[in-house]
Amino acid sequence: MPYYKCIVPEGSVEFDKRQEVAKAFTDIHCGSTGAPRTFVHVEFIEYPAGGDTGYDADTPFYMDGRNRAGRPEEVKQKLLTDLIAAFVSITGISPEDIAGRISEGKASHTMEGGHILPEPGEEGPEWYEHAAAD
């Protein structure tokens, strides 16, 4: 975690733009939360012509994020706003064409890099050492 899924129409976002979005999401997430860069995952899922995102939103693009639980509401809201703004800026789509959400899960339910993830605010020095090693 975090894990951000971008659901997009088939062929609508080329590789260079996908990577640019992934880098921007990483910058935004780490700038907002202090998480190591290597913990930020971004996946693009395409749906075929005539389909839809599969989410409860009438937009052709959707950003579904999953983060560690425990951050203040204003941090979560700003994160979502900034991520969607970056996606719009990089891909050139209209802001009306994308919706999104960030859901949360308990950090202690996940093992990453061989360690149980710490809850937000409880990261020890090893959290940052792991990132530096990458």
Between the CA of residue 58 and those of 10, 84, 100, 104, what are the distances in Å?
A: 17, 16, 11, 23
Q: Could you tell me how far CA 72 lies from the centroid of its own chain?
A: 17
- Residues 58-97 interacting with other proteins (rule: CB under 8 A): none
Of 15 and 49, the one with the shorter C-beta distance to other proteins is 15
Q: Which of 11, 48, 114, 124 binds other proteins (CB under 8 A)?
A: 114
Q: How far is the CB of 100 from other proteins (least distance, A)?
A: 17
Interface mask toward other proteins for 11-50; x: CB under 8 A: ----x--xx--xx-xxx---------xxxxxxxxxx----
Return the half-sphere exposure (C-beta side, CA atoms, 13 A cut-off) of residue 110: 17
